[in-house]
Structure 1
Amino acid sequence: MSETETAPAELKEKLKGEDTAAVRQAIGRTAQAARRIGTALYEKSRAGQPAGDTGAAAGGGTAGGSSQDEVVDVEIVDDDKREAG
């Protein structure tokens, strides 16, 4: 079993007791394991991109192209309320 599996299990066990110091230590180990997971996922996601390609991450979209997740800013106007008011 790896630390990422044992740390949360240990925390669950410590939460059953009343030793707050042990719970805090287990929380710290679990948080550290979570950071390692996040770092590994980030590095894995960046491994597939060229070194200079930061447009989508930094700029919030693709440069010069359209995206499937395109955000459109719209305003909804209720004509019935406009005429009554």
Structure 2
Amino acid sequence: MARRGRRHKGPWLAQVGPHDLSCALCRGTLFWNREVQLNTAGMSLLNLDWANASALGLQCAGCSRLELFADSNQVRLSAPEEQP
């Protein structure tokens, strides 16, 4: 993820298992990543939002469509310059 001593901060190319990810809307291949909290009404009512599960969110850099992945271990992110 480094290029000339600098760390790549995104957007990223993404693979889910053996498949390259592309946006279902615009077919873009670059994504910004972030952790997304999966809040529930009951936990919010009790002020326990921090205890909810989280997912990996990938936002398309082209159209902003958001994809969520509950198992972030299945997703691999790489900098565009790392691709052959």
**TM-score when scaled to structure 1?**
0.19
| Higher Rg | 1
Q: Which has the higher strand share?
A: 2
Q: Which has the higher helix share?
A: 1
| Higher-RCO chain (CA-CA 8 Å, sequence separation at least 6) | 2
